[in-house]
Chains A and B, each alone.
Chain A
Amino acid sequence: EVQLVESGGGLVQPGGSLRLSCVASGFTFSNSWMHWVRQAPGKGPVWVARINTDGSTTNYADSVKGRFTISRDNAKNTLYLQMNSLRADDAALYYCARSGGSAIDFWGQGTLVTVSS
């Protein structure tokens, strides 16, 4: 059974940093491109970033470029999202998701990030 379990969310002050983690199981993690997607309350999902199988290729949404870094550790079956210079509009439920090639085909349950002073 495919499982993606996110952690690391919480309350952070504006300008602060947070690192999210996502542990994958039930599939060959090292063969899958992975994504982070976020969703603010009452809004649609917003794609954040993706990474290829060995971590050599990454893409970011313009809104997070230069502030967020996606990375992975295939030995630990873990995906990361380092978030720096956090702003109020970064507050959301952050989902880890697997790429099935032409679509994001599986999502975790999400971890909540709150940005407030």
Chain B
Amino acid sequence: QSALTQPASVSGSPGQSITISCTGTSTDVGTYKYVSWYQHHPDKAPKLMIYEVSNRPSGVSNRFSGSKSGNTASLTISGLQAEDEADYYCSSYTTSSTWVFGGGTKLTVL
């Protein structure tokens, strides 16, 4: 199972919006709604930000939103804040009953 494809880095200024893409195939992202997004600050455990493509767990800011079209999922962060600077990973369930992650995107808040 190949990793999902994410851009290596994105950046934006405080207050702006950014979108991170996550491209898979018809055996993962394209088939299932089980796409998740995680925020990972250095030396901390990854944190679930979005599940089932577009749902936010309790406590996650509504500045975070998710969507999917075909084999590509997207995470949008609006109203960028300094604390949003982190690595972001997408994940999807697959037709092989396994899970696959993206290579990660480093978000820099300028």
Contact = CB atoms under 8 A, between A and B. Distances in A.
Contacts, number: 63
Interface of B: 1, 3, 6, 33-34, 36, 38, 44-48, 51-52, 57, 89, 91, 93, 97-104
Contacts of A61: 1, 98
A71 B15 CA distance: 46
Contact of B46 (A45, A46, A62): A45
A50 B101 CA distance: 14
Contacts of A75: none
Contacts of A105: 48, 51, 57
10 contacts: A37-B101, A43-B103, A45-B38, A45-B104, A95-B45, A102-B52, A103-B34, A103-B36, A109-B45, A110-B45
Interface string A15-49: 00000000000000000000101000001111100
Contact of B100 (A35, A47, A59, A102): A47
A89 B75 CA distance: 30
Nearest to A60: B98
Contacts of B57: 105
Which of B48, B89, B104 gathers the greatest number of chain A CB atoms within 10 Å?
B48
A100 interface: yes
Contact of B51 (A37, A43, A59, A103): A103
Contacts of B51: 100, 102-103, 105
A44 B36 contact: no
